[in-house]
Amino acid sequence: MAGIYIHIPFCKQACHYCNFHFSTSLKNKDDLLLAIHSELKQRKGYLKGQLIDTVYFGGGTPSLLTAREINKIWEIITKHHKINETAEVTLETNPDDLSINYLNELKQTPVNRLSIGIQSFFDSDLIFMNRAHNAKHARTCIEAAKDRGFNNLTIDLIYGTPTTSHSDWVRNLQTAFDFDIPHISCYALTVEPNTALAQFIKKGKIKDLDEIHSAEQFEILLDQIEQHGYEQYEISNFCKPSQYAIHNTNYWKGKHYLGIGPGAHSYNGHSRQWNVAHNPQYIKALNKGKIYWETEALTLENQYNEYIMTSLRTKWGVNVDQLMHWGQFNTTSFIQLAATYINNGLMELHNNNYVLNRKGKLLADTIISDFFIG
Ligand code: SF4
């Protein structure tokens, strides 16, 4: 099984923390969609006929697409790629786009899962982040989506924001639980280079983020999630029993994916490829038959490190039999280092799988990088 990711690089306004590739000018939208159509046709061989079980419209803001534009992309996907009839088809959406009319239109498309960028149910946080929606949109869009029959929902929430007190964070989570959302992704606010947030901090307009505040909210998150019957199946991803996102899980399990659109990444097991993250350059290159991507062949060391990085973040962990793919020496080295972390109460061994426990998850980045080779 494999996946297709389509990057829609447009947003109504720039969120202060975001460093994804997007433009707030929609003037190239039609040309860009035509270029995406061409790329989908040109790269029909990339996944070598593997059955696609997830198609993900990400961005940017894919909910700026009309139902007609989504259906056109889908028509090309199904013509040139082998799609499982039960494929998960996700559309990333912003709450202010999810009007009743738009949701009704989406019912006429193959989209069967909505990922809603809620981030917070508080206006103070949303203003701080410069989100296009307000707290009222955040609530009403979930009600409207469920009302229109979109029950396969995931929402994003952000913690560690200076405007979010611990009690606000508990209320944010409680609101998500009250809506009975089956899948929740929670991310710590981080300062990415070249963002408005980084500039504000540099100029002293706002204080740097408080790591302790953020770590405390991560602990609150883990307590709340567990109490409300959600499973943490990846450091930042939580779901009701077994309601894993196919798109995310495929990525963590090393399945192959084809990334279409400016800035999109692709992976086929032995190399990574990424498209130019510039809308006019992407369009021009597609129109003129020029190269619009870069490729990196993955060494065995790269592949090992990626396996460690993605697996240790998940509940499935690192499997000893799979490690043998990188030879006895690397397997033995892993097991020896893991034994130290087990003794220190940060890892556990479950049926041949090494996993981070709760204490280990708090130090995930440091522990994971300790296992890297090369
Ligand atoms: S809507 Fe999403 S992609 Fe667009 S600026 Fe905000 S966070 Fe970034």
Containing domain of residue 305, as a range? 300-371
Between the CA of 329 and the centroid of ligand 1 the distance, in Å, is 44
- Is-contact 183 243, C-beta < 8 A? yes
pLDDT of residue 14: 97
Between the CA of 13 and the centroid of ligand 1 the distance, in Å, is 8
User: 41 and 144: one domain?
Assistant: yes
Alpha helices in the chain (DSSP H): 29-42, 67-80, 100-106, 123-129, 135-147, 166-178, 196-202, 211-227, 246-252, 279-288, 300-312, 320-323, 327-343, 358-362, 364-371
**Which two tokens mark 160?**
């560690």
CATH code for the domain in which residue 358 is found = 1.10.10
**b/e per residue, 243-261, with b = 16+ CB within 10 A?**
ebbbbbbbbbeebbbbbbb
Between the CA of 223 and the centroid of ligand 1 the distance, in Å, is 28
How far is residue 76 from each of residues 69, 273, 284, measured CA to CA in Å?
11, 21, 20
Prior bond to 60 cis, omega within 30?
yes
Which stretches of the chain drop beneath a pLDDT of 70? none
CB-based contacts of 265, cutoff 8 Å, min separation 6? 5, 259, 272, 273, 274, 275
Q: How far is it, in rounded angstroms, from Cα 191 to Cα 229?
A: 31
Q: What is the rounded radius of gyration, in angstroms, for the C-alpha atoms of the chain?
A: 21
Q: Using the 3D structure, point to which of 252, 285, 311 is the last residue of a domain.
A: 252
Q: How far is it, in rounded angstroms, from Cα 273 to Cα 54?
A: 19
Between the CA of 16 and the centroid of ligand 1 the distance, in Å, is 9
- Is-contact 360 291, C-beta < 8 A? no
pLDDT of residue 45: 96
User: 304 and 241: one domain?
Assistant: no
User: 209 and 342: one domain?
Assistant: no
Count of domains in the chain? 2
Between the CA of 130 and the centroid of ligand 1 the distance, in Å, is 10
Between the CA of 209 and the centroid of ligand 1 the distance, in Å, is 20
CA nearest ligand 1 atom 8, residue: 18
Tabulate helix, strand, coil % of the chain (nearest 5).
45, 20, 35
User: 71 and 164: one domain?
Assistant: yes
Question: Which ligand 1 atom minimizes the distance to the CA of 129?
Answer: 6
Number of helical H runs and strand E runs in the chain? 15, 15
User: 155 and 243: one domain?
Assistant: yes
Q: Using the 3D structure, point to which of 252, 281, 313 is the last residue of a domain.
A: 252
CATH code for the domain in which residue 190 is found = 3.20.20.70
Instruction: Tell whether 275 is covered by a domain.
Output: no
CB-based pocket (< 6 A), ligand 1: 11, 14-15, 18, 20, 22, 59-61, 94, 117
User: 216 and 77: one domain?
Assistant: yes
Instruction: Tell whether 326 is covered by a domain.
Output: yes
Instruction: Tell whether 286 is covered by a domain.
Output: no
Q: Using the 3D structure, point to which of 213, 229, 252 is the last residue of a domain.
A: 252
CA nearest ligand 1 atom 2, residue: 60
**Closest C-alpha to 366, from 312, 298, 295:** 312
Q: How far is it, in rounded angstroms, from Cα 80 to Cα 52?
A: 11
Pocket test for ligand 1, best of 6, 22, 156 (most atoms within 8 A of CB): 22
pLDDT of residue 374: 86
- 3 state DSSP class of 152: coil
User: 17 and 86: one domain?
Assistant: yes
- 3 state DSSP class of 354: strand
Q: How far is it, in rounded angstroms, from Cα 59 to Cα 46?
A: 21
Mean pLDDT of the chain: 97
- 3 state DSSP class of 156: strand
pLDDT of residue 290: 97
